[in-house]
Structure 1
Amino acid sequence: MKKWLPFVFLLTTLVCSAQNKSIEAYAGFIEKIDSLHIEHQIPGLSVGVMRNDSILISTGVGWANVEAKKDMTAQTPVRIASLTKPIFSTLFMRLEEEGNVDLNWKIKNYVPNYLERCERILAYFEKQMPEYAFLLKDYEPNRDDILLKHHLSHTAEASPGTNYKYNGLLYGMLSAVMKTATGVNFDRMVDSLIIQKLELKHAASSQLDDTKTELLNTIALPYHFSEDDSFVRSPFPDKDLNAGAGLVFSVEDLLLFDKALTHNTIISNKAKEKMFEPFLLNDGRRSPYGYGWFIDNYKNNKVIWHYGWQPKAYSSLYVKIPEKNLTLVMLTNSEGLSSSFNLSNGNLLQSVFAQAFLDQFVTD
């Protein structure tokens, strides 16, 4: 397994300009992440840390392509899995701000053939993929009170707004809402309002983007760890894009997106703060999730975050602490960054990778 040693000079260069932090402190974080990536059987990992718009760490370890021994770097395009959700949510909140959508609309009015679609998907799961039938088991599409905000906040199941339950399938339905409300597909919107506007160099709206063939040929390949202690190529997950998954970004691109989010380049501060607030359940309890983001707390600091997990393929982590203008992004080409930590329950501290970051960079 490739070590961090080739990156020591880069790390030293990056941290020499950082204030109130020693080279040794950053090296300790890198050493910890190196140890964790080996422990959790990750072939390639890219990581970026940014504070006050300055990049403190931007590098990679291991292989984007194990067979070809191609380095994983901060510029390597990676399937970001469910980190697609906060990016979609950002655009959705922009549409609401512009009056193109209303979070209190009924979803059945904005998803074409809504009831038929739900019934067809459930029937398929029950017959072909029973392990996924739970995704629609507690969803009642015949109800008249399922609103867009319930899908955006993962509170659409059973009695809408009553309980939080992470459900990527139901979140993904919001792509159809965007198309119905605006006439524009999610891929075109993310292309124009994020990738092109922010001049992202290593991003694509999906693996099906035929304008990015050269870029997509450099994508980090997915792997899983075999019983004989070796990495085995996995098939790519579904290449289609929806609100819940499918975007291809590098760590460098996500840091640029984060900077734009911080400075309200994409949406207003008012819309952003609405997105970053925990959803209030019907009984007044605060959900661990807002609109497209998890909300947590660490040492009295509000933490906005999300993770991604595509089994045996990709995993990712994005942690943002607004009060400190501090951000972490990690992308990997295996499931090891997320599969062991049950992050869907909303507790970021279950991730040893997140804990290493918080311990190192949030001291008060």
Structure 2
Amino acid sequence: MRFLCLFALLLLPSVTSAQAGDPADEFASFDRFLAEFREENSVPALSAVIVRDGQIAWEGYYGWADDEGEVATSADTTYKIASTTKPIAATAIMAEALAGGLSLDLPMRADEGFADTCDWLSQSPIPFGSGGEDRHGNAVSAMDCAKQLTLSQMLDMRANGEDFVYNPIAYARVDRAISGAGGRDLRAIVRDRVAEPAGMRNVALGWRDPEGGDALRFLAPPFHPVDGRLVKQVLPDDDFRAAAGIIASPLQMAKFDIAFDSGVLIPPALIRELVEADIGPLGDYRRGWFLEDWNGQRLLWHSGWNEQKGSALYLKVPGKRLTLIVLANTEAIWWDNSLVKAEVAQSPIAQRFLEEFAR
């Protein structure tokens, strides 16, 4: 009976809204695309928000956020946002440094376990540890354990050398380095420097967040298609790190996005540096963001992936003052992106969004 409910919910219509004053059909095509994407990829719950000119321009909620088909996906539905935590955490760390609460020059070895983690990782078969190639043949450098890595370099994903290599395990040690150097707990930093000033509510900074509000109550449980069936997955038990762990809805992430662009969280000059930075043909990674150029537009973005449990896309087009946030409770949004190349334009959802709204 449970599997019948899960497949039935895939056929249900979406719930969408557009801000007053927008043409009624402006987002209709994109809405249909996401509804079809959800059905074709067997996603029980999918939520999306578009921000434009500092305001919520459109919202779309698809399917059901439980395994009995009784709780429709809504603006309250939350997800584990996986690695889209990184730009939020990095922004909070930058704000803490600007306020004098920590130094971006602090060594990652202030984390007493960092050296052992690096030694293990650099000898492991994990590509961002011991090196190799991505699917395009681009070299993935091994982690450089002799390098005196700083917090600033880690926020730029430079644990493996001069060029960026996406290294989430090393990034996950950031909070330990901060506390090891005498800094505040990362949860307190993100709450004080980002969540509160941005007006984010019902956002849990990890499972153990005492101020998480209703984030856990509204959480869409993870699923994975197996042999034509949607199978409910065990919830990951990892807590909050700079690399991942936030539980939120796209609407609350949009509040971060609006505050970020308005200069409430960090000075606009720091955002301009990301938009104007010179990047190579493979793109770059700076301060928690992938940087990529597409048709003359600078893109800031991040993906999120919990294997067989959930996925996310957070895509900004600063030149258009435009943002897309999409969360799902399967891994369907993830597109196996490279460790050394920023390639959000390979995402089917990003492609459609960019072609419709950013060209």
CA gap 1:276/1:362 in 2 versus in 1, 3 angstroms: closer
The one-letter amino acid paired with 1:140 is D
- Report whether the alignment pairs 1:5 with 2:13: yes
CA gap 1:343/1:254 in 2 versus in 1, 3 angstroms: farther
- Report whether the alignment pairs 1:303 with 2:299: yes
Determine the C-alpha separation between the residues in 1 that align with 2:309 and 2:14.
26
Determine the C-alpha separation between the residues in 1 that align with 2:12 and 2:258.
27
For 1:42, what is the secondary structure of its paired residue? coil
CA gap 1:171/1:91 in 2 versus in 1, 3 angstroms: same
Q: Deviations over 1:261-312 (max 9, x none)?
A: 01111111123334556587xxx88742222101112332211111101111
CA gap 1:263/1:66 in 2 versus in 1, 3 angstroms: same
Note the 1:126-165 alignment, pairs <5 A. 133-137=126-130, 138-141=142-145, 143-157=146-160, 160-161=161-162, 163-165=163-165
TM-score (norm. length: structure 2): 0.85
Determine the C-alpha separation between the residues in 2 that align with 1:117 and 1:315.
26
Contact 2:128 2:166 in 1 (8 A): no
Determine the structure 2 residue equivalent to 1:357. Answer: 353
CA gap 1:134/1:321 in 2 versus in 1, 3 angstroms: closer
Determine the structure 2 residue equivalent to 1:261. Answer: 260
The one-letter amino acid paired with 1:136 is G
Question: How far 1:206 sits from its partner (Å)?
Answer: 0.9
Q: Deviations over 1:202-251 (max 9, x none)?
A: 21111222443754122110110111x12111112233111100011111
For 2:56, what is the secondary structure of its paired residue? strand
Question: How far 1:79 sits from its partner (Å)?
Answer: 0.5
Determine the C-alpha separation between the residues in 2 that align with 1:99 and 1:287.
31
Determine the C-alpha separation between the residues in 1 that align with 2:85 and 2:272.
19
Contact 2:13 2:35 in 1 (8 A): no
Question: How far 1:53 sits from its partner (Å)?
Answer: 2.1
Determine the structure 1 residue equivalent to 2:175. Answer: 175
CA gap 1:146/1:211 in 2 versus in 1, 3 angstroms: closer
Determine the C-alpha separation between the residues in 1 that align with 2:96 and 2:278.
19
- Report whether the alignment pairs 1:342 with 2:337: yes
CA gap 1:149/1:356 in 2 versus in 1, 3 angstroms: same
The one-letter amino acid paired with 2:159 is A
Determine the structure 2 residue equivalent to 1:317. Answer: 313
Note the 1:189-208 alignment, pairs <5 A. 189-208=189-208
Q: Deviations over 1:126-180 (max 9, x none)?
A: 8xxx76x444332232x143333332222211xx21x322110011111112223
Query: CA RMSD for the aligned pairs?
Result: 2.5
| Gap runs ≥5 in structure 1 | none
CA gap 1:304/1:214 in 2 versus in 1, 3 angstroms: closer
Determine the C-alpha separation between the residues in 1 that align with 2:143 and 2:284.
20
Contact 1:279 1:291 in 2 (8 A): no
Determine the C-alpha separation between the residues in 1 that align with 2:210 and 2:309.
22
CA gap 1:34/1:274 in 2 versus in 1, 3 angstroms: same
Determine the structure 2 residue equivalent to 1:58. Answer: 59
Question: How far 1:317 sits from its partner (Å)?
Answer: 0.6
For 1:65, what is the secondary structure of its paired residue? coil
Determine the C-alpha separation between the residues in 1 that align with 2:289 and 2:63.
29
Determine the C-alpha separation between the residues in 2 that align with 1:177 and 1:273.
28
Note the 1:210-249 alignment, pairs <5 A. 210-212=210-212, 214-227=214-227, 229-249=228-248
Determine the C-alpha separation between the residues in 1 that align with 2:25 and 2:281.
43
Contact 1:279 1:290 in 2 (8 A): no
Per mean C-alpha deviation after superposition, the further-off stretch among 50-59 and 323-332 is 50-59
Contact 1:288 1:296 in 2 (8 A): yes
Per mean C-alpha deviation after superposition, the further-off stretch among 245-254 and 298-307 is 298-307
For 1:56, what is the secondary structure of its paired residue? strand
The one-letter amino acid paired with 1:351 is S
TM-score (norm. length: structure 1): 0.84
The one-letter amino acid paired with 1:356 is R
- Report whether the alignment pairs 1:332 with 2:328: yes
Determine the structure 2 residue equivalent to 1:30. Answer: 31
For 1:259, what is the secondary structure of its paired residue? helix
Q: Deviations over 1:46-84 (max 9, x none)?
A: 000111123221131012212353222232121100011
